[in-house]
Chain A
């Protein structure tokens, strides 16, 4: 297995997977605790619509992925804030509308473009040096912001109204969280693909949620699980000639079910004292 590391493409793939695993799993903690899971899934599909339009217009694919992802996630946040419509309904509409746009843009392409489908299903083994640098740069931005504002992010995930009443700029932090979710989706598109990216945000954090009663521990566990699954998934996909995205996500899913079975919260159901 060690000889694999001698290949440049494998070094790039493992580094990209590790970065994506780390970023997804850390932002996932706030997504799970704040109840934004479905919003993130909608963002992933919107970002893919951005990729397809970018290919159609001859623009860099991630540029429009960011625009589409941000627009979707901000609209989602605004709808939740105003309470004008049930959140699941508004996301469901955006989710399907952006997917319809993606299919429309694919249909308008003159020929089959395998690179576009790489963003749909994930192709970490074909990550280029430029893409790796983009992933690295955005990962530093997302993880750095979370590190700097982790206490405010935890507070709004726990109780946003209370955070606002305590003097925390809760509304701004909420929109910042949504922005970080969109950036994370964009970072991860090439590695795990639009269909599976949200699993990488959701599953490591949900697995860690089963294991602890402490916010700090949940973040650390999620980070370890996400990074481990991403790197191991790439190695497994290479060793057994499997697609990388599903390998990563199915490994994470297996760990999730293991955690559910072994969860101290379930095995020793806590009774009110």
Chain B
């Protein structure tokens, strides 16, 4: 088996009085593409924050890049490329596309050091990977939502990460842009052999692209190849509604009022 890069061992996360994720045991080997699904409030973003080292387990252990969470210092975090949920971007924020991508290098560079020519080359290369190198001098706010997501993926790539953590990367994008972004992520996984954890609500979009699906509902409900996880009896327990898998393997929510 490939070397595990992320390992949860009976790990519980939360805040005083609130358990967000309980008793998670999960091992993710290097270069695996994992989709993380579950309803709202199921602990998906907590899982993300835990892997980033922003939350330590209340019980159990989590090791990322062979470090316990509390040892996950800045230089380790720089090896985890992170795309947060799409927030509201100030369209007039004065930053060019290349400047935004270069920010991905800052963690690895450390304090006081200026970006070298090599760092600028890495940033340009990351932009080329996502097909946005011709926009490098454009204002970030002038790009469409899909293009901005590509730029933020390039920023994560500029870190030269071993793990790529994507928190709902297609939310807020139109259908064409959603497909384009997911295809890009799949292509990066293929070409760069990155370990990818992608949190999403769009089961249909990723079911044929990931190696494994992880289904959360505060606990780890199921984990395995998509065909093993996406079974009506499992999904209906987690989502609490009648979920149907069509003959084209699409998962849809059936409105129980129409029964």
Contacts and interface: CB of A to CB of B under 8 A. Distances in A.
A151 B106 contact: yes
B103 A213 contact: no
A158 B90 CA distance: 9
B82 A162 contact: yes
Contact of A218 (B75, B94, B106, B141): B94
Interface string A133-155: 00000000000000011011011
A111 interface: no
B103 to A, nearest CB: 5
Interface stretch (A7-15, A20-28, A91-99, A164-172): A164-172
Interface stretch (B108-116, B182-190, B202-210): B108-116
Interface string B73-99: 111111010101000000111111001
Interface residues of B, number: 39
A166 B78 contact: yes
A161 B55 CA distance: 13
Contacts of A152: 106, 111
B139 interface: yes
Nearest to B76: A167
Contacts of B170: none
B106 A166 contact: yes
Interface size class of A (residues with CB under 8 A): 20 to 34
Interface stretch (B10-18, B28-36, B142-150): B142-150
Contacts of B108: 167
Interface string A154-195: 110011011111111100000000000000000000000000
B5 to A, nearest CB: 17
Contacts of A212: 94
B165 to A, nearest CB: 8
Contacts of B139: 213, 270
Main secondary structure of the interface of A (DSSP, over half): helix
B129 to A, nearest CB: 18
Interface string A193-221: 00000000000000001001111111000
Contacts of A83: none
Interface in A210-240: 212-218
Given A165-B54, A167-B77, A273 B147 contact: yes
A167 B107 contact: yes
B57 interface: no
A58 interface: no
A165 B52 contact: yes
B178 interface: no
Given A151-B106, A270-B141, A167 B78 contact: yes
17 contacts: A151-B106, A151-B114, A158-B95, A161-B84, A162-B84, A163-B103, A163-B106, A167-B78, A167-B106, A213-B94, A213-B96, A213-B139, A214-B96, A215-B99, A271-B142, A273-B135, A273-B147
Interface of A: 33, 148-149, 151-152, 154-155, 158-159, 161-169, 209, 212-218, 265, 270-273
